[in-house]
Amino acid sequence: MSNGDDDSEATTDATEASGATDTDPDVSETNESEEPTTDDDEPVTPEALSERLESIETDLESAETESDLDEIEARLDAVATDVEALPEPDADAEDEDDGDDDDDEEDPRVQLEERIEEIRDAIEEQRGPYASDVVETLDSVGVKIAETQWTEQGKSEVIEAVASFLEAANEALDSDFTIENESIESVTGTITNVMDATKSADLDPDDDAKTIDTLLAASEELQNELEEAQEWSDLTVHQQLKQLGFYDELTSENRKDYPPELSVVRIAESENDPEKILLAQISSIPSSCRRTASMRCVGWVLMRHLKR
């Protein structure tokens, strides 16, 4: 049998053991300071994330298909999520810096986020091209052709450029598009037909990469040639008036004034030709000639009114 002192000592030991288990500060601090972990229960540290980014960059260099890029982008998204879960820098430690105000240099999250964005940009640059890129370029071409005021020379250059484009497009799409006539409406209609055929072809960026490359290169070449084609706004005022037939009645015998536009106005007045008078008034010819044209125009209108 045991005496009373033995029972008391046993009770005390049990109580102390229980208290140590419930209030052990070392155990509590360990639980609170655990670092975030990945799905594989590996600690997420800036160093580990940096290594994962290096692996992604290496795989990106050898990626060949859209599927490869999709898989790489998914891994990059996972890293970005883990970066957001990193603890913020210790504010007390920042206060003890030696006067360095560039906190971004000290915050590994900022560096990792910048690196992630750079990799995202690299992924986007490596994607495509897509059939939608061809359609977008051709849509821009169609608008350019339809909305631009071309000179006769420029119109011929546009038709020639589109005909050259159709050769490449027909070969790539196994089609036989042609320009029905030399009107701008016919040209833009043909461009629309090629756009529709490109959409209907359902081209895959991997399986049909060669076809897409051919169409896009031809479309961009057409776009560049249109920029070189002569537009009405490229001409000087004198060239514009000449193309409109403004100087057709002017000869060495009747050219008596300077600038010559004034002679044209006088001739137009004598021939009751208001079109050339109005044309001189609204064009950017010398102001003295425009004033004369304005007076001649008013006089011509009054004369016509009085004759009625």
Total domains in the chain come to 3
Single-letter code of the amino acid located at 209 = A
User: Is the pLDDT score of 272 beyond 60?
Assistant: yes
User: Is the pLDDT score of 9 beyond 70?
Assistant: no
The SS3 assignment for 178 reads: coil
pTM: 0.64
Question: Does 138 map to a domain?
Answer: yes
Q: Would you put residue 79 in left (φ > 0), alpha (ψ -120 to 50) or beta?
A: alpha
Q: Pick from 95-104, 105-114, 155-164 the range whose average pLDDT is largest.
A: 155-164
Question: Does 8 map to a domain?
Answer: no
pLDDT of the residue at 306: 39
The reply to whether 224 and 251 lie within a common domain is no
Exposure string for 129-159, b = 16+ CB within 10 A, e = fewer:
bbbebbbebbeebbebbeebebbeebbebbb
pLDDT of the residue at 99: 54
The reply to whether 224 and 274 lie within a common domain is no
DSSP string, 251-291: -TTT--SSSHHHHHHHHHHHTT-HHHHHHHHHSSS-HHHHH
The reply to whether 118 and 162 lie within a common domain is no
Residue where a domain stops, chosen among 73, 93, 126? 126
Question: Does 2 map to a domain?
Answer: no
Residue 242: pLDDT band (50, 70, 90) is: confident
pLDDT of the residue at 219: 98
pLDDT of the residue at 115: 94
User: Which range is least confidently modeled, 30-34, 37-41, 68-72, 81-85?
Assistant: 30-34
Query: Average pLDDT, stretch 137-159?
Result: 97
pLDDT of the residue at 88: 80
What would the pLDDT profile of 66-79 be if each residue is shown by its tens digit?
A: 899 999 999 999 99
Distance CA 66, CA 127 (A): 7
User: Is the pLDDT score of 210 beyond 60?
Assistant: yes
pLDDT of the residue at 1: 45
- Average pLDDT over the chain, rounded to whole? 79
Of the two residues 102 and 49, the one the predictor is more confident about is 49
User: Is the pLDDT score of 209 beyond 90?
Assistant: yes
Query: Average pLDDT, stretch 34-45?
Result: 60
User: Is the pLDDT score of 139 beyond 80?
Assistant: yes
Backbone torsions φ then ψ of 230, nearest 5 degrees: -75, 125
User: Is the pLDDT score of 271 beyond 60?
Assistant: yes
Of the two residues 273 and 68, the one the predictor is more confident about is 68
Residue where a domain stops, chosen among 89, 110, 126? 126
Range of the domain at 135: 131-233
The reply to whether 229 and 241 lie within a common domain is no
Question: Does 256 map to a domain?
Answer: yes
Give every CB contact of residue 256 below 8 A, 6+ residues apart in sequence. Answer: 263, 266
Distance CA 255, CA 272 (A): 18
